Amino acid sequence: MADRQTYIQPPRILKEAMRRLFLLLFPVVGLLVACSTTQSSAVINLSQLEPLPVEVPTEVTPLRVAVAAIISPKDTLDSYKPLIEYIGERLDRPVELVQRRTYAEINDLIKSGEVDLAFVCTSAYVIGAREFGMELIAAPQVRGETVYYSYLIVPADSPVESMADLRGQVFAFTDPLSNTGRLYPTSLVQQLGETPDLFFGRTFYTYSHDDAIRAVANGVADGAAVDSLVYEHAMERDPDLVQKTRIIHRSPAFGIPPVVISPHLRPQHAAELQSLLLEMANDRAGQAALDAVGFDKFVSINDDAYDSVRVLERAVTPES
Amino acid sequence: MANHDLESRTTLLQRFWGYAGAVSVRTKILGIVLALVLLLGMGTTFQVREVYQQSLIRQLEERSVSVARDLAARSTDLILINDLFALHQLLEETLANNPDVRYGFIIDDSGAVIAQTFGEGFPAGLVDSNTISPLEHHQTVALETDEGRVWDTAVPIFDGQAGTARVGLSEESVQNTVTALTGQMLLTVVIVSAIGIAAATFLTWVVTRPILNLKQAAEAVGHGDFDQHVRPWAGDEIGELTQAFNVMTVDLAKAELERREREQLRTQLLDKVITAQEDERKRIARELHDETGQALTSLMVRLQNLNQQILVPELKPQMDDLRNLLAQTLDDVHNLALELRPSALDDLGLVAALERYVKDYNEHSRVDVDLVTIGFKEDRLPPPVETALYRIVQEGLTNVARHSQAKTVSVLLERNNGRVRAIIEDDGMGFNPQSTMKGDRLGLYGMRERAELLNGELIIETKENQGTTIFVEVPF
């Protein structure tokens, strides 16, 4: 019985090729596996929660400075940052900027002493001085004046010429306590023998004057009353925005929004701050900080500069 | 070491080829189809899965950036005026309105967490897992968490002055989508595989059926049935093979017919030759016996007479020589005639002739022959059978004397049931059938031919140094 060949030999070259292929595949596969792993190796356990570290109060208590919501919080931060930093450097003490949505909240902080120094609106000072002894230590001087006005503005292409024309329209107030932003325009309406809720078609609060300007510029509101300082500052910074609006009325002069201190502030600190502010214009850094907020300098001011606002306030029944 | 390794791997490969090659064509085709479908299907599935997954993850990354940036923009004022409640509301809304968002939190400019969506407590290590400088636009990091991978994006709020917004998007929905897709694709692969197997099975049936038919026909032809004709299925290579097969079968049938005719002629020729040879022998033997023998006998008688009439005593020895020579010659002629064709074979039968031959053989050679006959009481066998058997035994014994160096030979002759059997067995040195000389092979061939002419058979069993046995069986 002859031997029968039970298989066919594959060609030698094929065997060699297969062997080489296997040898090549292993490192390639290994590389692929390695590359697919991510960079971070530590596993975070999302279901295991630990209490957050409690903030350790700093050894040195910072000086807390509040700025009322006259302009939007971002713009406030940008404008007042150099001033804040200057004060901190001069006092060699950390300084914190505090902002809140409404004037009333700032007043509360001043009242409780949680805030030491504040830049408040005129009417907020009037109320605060009356209610809990908010103290005046200085006032900014802008373009040579320590007064400011309320501008009644409408969209540039609006036919409105006076408050009377705004009957049934949409009106934007700024803050409930604002002098220029609510008290004054309300007095205008009252002079027409009306009340704002019945006179206007719709009213709303923007909580900052530059947002009120934006509302009118965009046509969201048919009219608003804004702080003249803010309006003029906006004209420099964003002329396109301002050009979309038109001033139809200017109020009588009011005392400029002052710099106040909390009744809880110690007299030495108060005096220190006052002299710091009043001398600020004298050095280069101080001048730069003043330029950032758009002030010439700080000056002393008398409380009776704000009597006209007191009159206005008394005349206008405040919305509660 | 390496050589041995290579060798063992090589034999493994050979074994694999051995198994792979022996598998049926149907299985081969099915295997190839299945392997191809699976390879293509799996390859495509995983390729698509990879691409799809990468695409979805890229989108998820981008979404995390846009959500974080949105959060940062909306939270600026809230942080500056410290409206923590509204900030928390914002985070909750972000979580609610974006399905992939797993968490969101705000860090103030001093690094403390001021609002977050985890409720009471916060995961350890999460705050520090993605740090960003205020100058950057955003930074996205892939975090490994106990819930899978989360894409965490950090965005500075108001250039970092108000803090950092952090948002984490979970890959879970992406993974679920990808898994669903993979499942669907694999299902498709399975379905296509099933279809492929069905198609392949049909294909193999189409291919192997004609091959199997051919195989059966070939086997039939191998067994001598030349009437096979396979109908070609298709015009392909297998169809051509089938046609070639049919042509071959017809040729084979023709060749077989010719072969049979030639065989018949050959048999007839052989028969004729043997008969002629026997007739010739018979004639010569008779002539030797009748004519030459008679002549010599008469010579003998005349010489006898002459011997008696010769008075010269010197002539007597010469006369005796002549008489001896004559007697010898007479004897030789008698033996020659006997050897050529024993009259006993014609007159008395096979057994008698063989007994005579064996007796003669025993006298003339060293080998002892033992003859046993069984069942030969009745009439004689047909003359061709007797002749053939006589010649076969004669040839066999001649070979024994000439080649085998045996001491004894036994010859068994048995007759029963219409068959005659002869067995010639010697204890000689045997022979190798392959290496026997041509001339001697012819002798053996002749013995077989004689038997087969009579429809009998002859079998020779021999092995070197183990003696030789010749079986003959002939019907009558």
Contact list in A for residue B162 (CB cut-off 8 A) is 77
Measured between CA atoms, how close is B83 to chain A, in angstroms? Answer: 8
Structure token digits, residue B324: 């001896």
- Report whether pLDDT(B1) > 70: no
Q: How far apart are CA B400 and CA A15, in angstroms?
A: 62
Count Cβ atoms below 10 Å from residue B94 Cβ, excluding itself: 21
Q: What is the pLDDT of residues A266-307, one digit of tens each?
A: 999 999 999 999 999 999 999 999 999 989 999 999 999 999
- Using CB atoms, pick whichever of B9, B119, B145 lies closest to residue A43: B145
Q: What is the pLDDT of residues A197-224, one digit of tens each?
A: 999 999 999 988 989 999 999 999 999 9
- Using CB atoms, pick whichever of B17, B118, B143 lies closest to residue A40: B143
Closest alpha carbon within chain B to A72: B77
- % chain A with pLDDT above 70: 86
Q: Which residues contact B456 (CB under 8 A, 6 or more apart)?
A: B472, B473, B474, B475
Q: What's the CATH code, domain A63-146+256-315? A: 3.40.190.10
- Residue B134 Ramachandran class (φ > 0 left, ψ -120 to 50 alpha, else beta): alpha
Q: Which residue numbers of B have CB closer than 8 Å to A's CBs?
A: 9-10, 13-15, 17-18, 21-22, 76-77, 80-83, 102-103, 112-113, 118-126, 129, 141-147, 149-150, 158, 161-162
- % chain B with pLDDT above 90: 30
Taking residues B8-15, report their average pLDDT.
77
CA angle B465, B467, B471 (to 5 degrees): 150
Contact list in B for residue A41 (CB cut-off 8 A) is 144
Amino acid identity of residue B222, one-letter, is: G
- % chain B with pLDDT above 70: 96
Count Cβ atoms below 10 Å from residue B180 Cβ, excluding itself: 10
Q: How far apart are CA A69 and CA A211, in angstroms?
A: 11
Q: What is the pLDDT of residues A176-190, one digit of tens each?
A: 888 899 999 999 999
The pLDDT value recorded for residue B205 is 83
Nearest to A305 by CA among A174, A125, A153, A151: A125
Closest alpha carbon within chain A to B126: A44
Task: Kindly indicate the confidence band of residue A38, based on its pLDDT and cuts at 50, 70 and 90.
Answer: very low
Taking residues B367-386, report their average pLDDT.
86
Closest alpha carbon within chain B to A47: B123
The answer to whether the Cβ–Cβ distance between B119 and A49 falls below 8 Å is: yes
- Cα–Cα distances (Å) from B302 to B46, B299, B313, in that order, read 124, 5, 18
Please give the residue that has the higher pLDDT: either A139 or B27. A139
The answer to whether the Cβ–Cβ distance between B112 and A53 falls below 8 Å is: yes
Winning range, highest mean pLDDT, from A29-43, A146-160, B12-26, B27-41: A146-160
Contact A229, A178 (CB under 8 A): no
Contact list in A for residue B142 (CB cut-off 8 A) is 38-40
The pLDDT value recorded for residue A21 is 67
Do the domains at A63-146+256-315 and A150-251 have one common CATH topology? yes
Q: Which residue numbers of A have CB closer than 8 Å to B's CBs?
A: 6-10, 15, 19, 38-53, 55, 69, 72-74, 76-77, 81, 98-101
The answer to whether the Cβ–Cβ distance between B14 and A69 falls below 8 Å is: no
Q: How far apart are CA B107 and CA B157, in angstroms?
A: 9
- Using CB atoms, pick whichever of B15, B21, B102 lies closest to residue A8: B21
- % chain A with pLDDT above 90: 62
Average pLDDT value over all residues in chain B: 87
Please give the residue that has the higher pLDDT: either A255 or B270. A255
- Using CB atoms, pick whichever of B18, B83, B123 lies closest to residue A46: B123
- Report whether pLDDT(A37) > 50: no
pTM of the model: 0.62
- Report whether pLDDT(B10) > 90: no
Q: What is the pLDDT of residues B165-174, one digit of tens each?
A: 999 999 998 9
Q: What is the pLDDT of residues B177-206, one digit of tens each?
A: 999 999 999 998 899 888 888 888 888 888
Measured between CA atoms, how close is A283 to chain B, in angstroms? Answer: 26
The structural domains of chain A, with segments of one domain joined by +, span 63-146+256-315, 150-251
B133, exposed or middle or buried, with CB in 10 Å at 0-12, 13-18, 19+?
exposed
The pLDDT value recorded for residue B440 is 67
Fold topology of A150-251: D-Maltodextrin-Binding Protein; domain 2 (3.40.190)
Closest alpha carbon within chain A to B112: A55
Q: What is the pLDDT of residues B135-156, one digit of tens each?
A: 899 999 999 999 889 999 999 9
The pLDDT value recorded for residue A29 is 60
Q: How many CB pairs under 8 A join A and B?
A: 106
